[in-house]
């Protein structure tokens, strides 16, 4: 897919915000624990991606009611849905000056269109040494879902099924989608939120 940055400046993909709160001490501490100055840019991206993918549980997978939103919350509770996990990965990468944005897919929520749709969040990351954007999906692997770090070809968690009217959006946004943040901020039960209250269009 031909990825299209929403913003013209890489600086717009390095901004700290209330949700992407990478100046929080917990995030700074965790990043410094995971990476070193001897690591290459791509190694840093790989390590931080693998951490969020593997060490932060997906709320639905563990059947947790806890709702997290801010990057620091996701790190504190070590869980969240894809919207929350993409906030954390963006914060961790931005904290080391690696431009990171937000990408979206429209997917069937479960296995058929009759059961509804949802917007799924992942990240767009700029690799300066290659002068290109790549997409990474830190949702978390499980049987039937396998996302990997790759500089050559996308290895995302979900493949788009055009027959089901699923959509792969090409835009790399500078900020998380407002609907996704509103969903996290206004729901108290992650399981009910996941089943019934996820936005289905960006």
Give the per-residue pLDDT at 1: 86
Give the per-residue pLDDT at 112: 81
Give the per-residue pLDDT at 110: 86
67 lies in some domain: yes
How far, in Å, CA of 87 to CA of 30, rounded? Answer: 15
List the alpha helices (DSSP H) in 78-115: 82-94
How far, in Å, CA of 20 to CA of 72, rounded? Answer: 8
Domain count, the chain: 1
Domain of 147: which CATH number? Answer: 3.10.620.30
How far, in Å, CA of 103 to CA of 118, rounded? Answer: 14
pTM > 0.95: yes or no: yes
201 lies in some domain: no
57 lies in some domain: yes
Give the per-residue pLDDT at 162: 86
Give the per-residue pLDDT at 123: 98
202 lies in some domain: no
How far, in Å, CA of 101 to CA of 143, rounded? Answer: 27
Q: What is the pLDDT along the chain (202 residues), one digit of tens a residue?
A: 899 999 999 999 999 999 999 999 999 999 999 999 999 999 999 999 999 999 999 999 999 999 999 999 999 999 999 999 999 999 999 999 999 999 999 999 987 888 899 999 999 999 999 999 999 999 999 999 999 999 999 999 999 998 899 999 999 999 999 999 999 999 999 999 999 999 999 9
Domain that holds residue 46: 4-196
């Amino acid at each position: 897919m031909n990825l299209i940055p929403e913003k013209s400046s890489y600086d717009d993909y390095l901004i700290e915000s209330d949700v992407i709160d990478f100046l929080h001490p917990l995030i700074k501490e965790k990043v410094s624990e995971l990476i070193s100055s001897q690591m290459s840019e791509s190694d840093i991206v790989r390590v931080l991606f693998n951490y969020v993918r593997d060490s932060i549980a997906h709320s639905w997978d563990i059947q947790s009611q806890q709702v997290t939103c801010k990057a620091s919350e996701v790190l504190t509770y070590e869980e969240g849905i894809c919207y929350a996990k993409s906030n954390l990965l963006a914060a961790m990468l931005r904290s080391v000056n690696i431009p990171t944005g937000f990408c979206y897919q429209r997917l069937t929520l479960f296995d058929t269109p009759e059961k509804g749709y949802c917007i799924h969040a992942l990240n767009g990351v700029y690799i300066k040494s290659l002068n290109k954007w790549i997409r990474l999906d830190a949702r978390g692997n499980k049987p039937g879902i396998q996302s990997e770090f790759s500089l050559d070809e996308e290895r995302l968690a979900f493949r788009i099924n055009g027959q089901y009217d699923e959509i792969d959006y090409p835009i790399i946004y500078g900020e998380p989608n407002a609907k996704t943040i509103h969903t996290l901020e206004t729901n108290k039960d992650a399981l009910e939120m996941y089943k019934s209250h996820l936005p289905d269009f960006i």
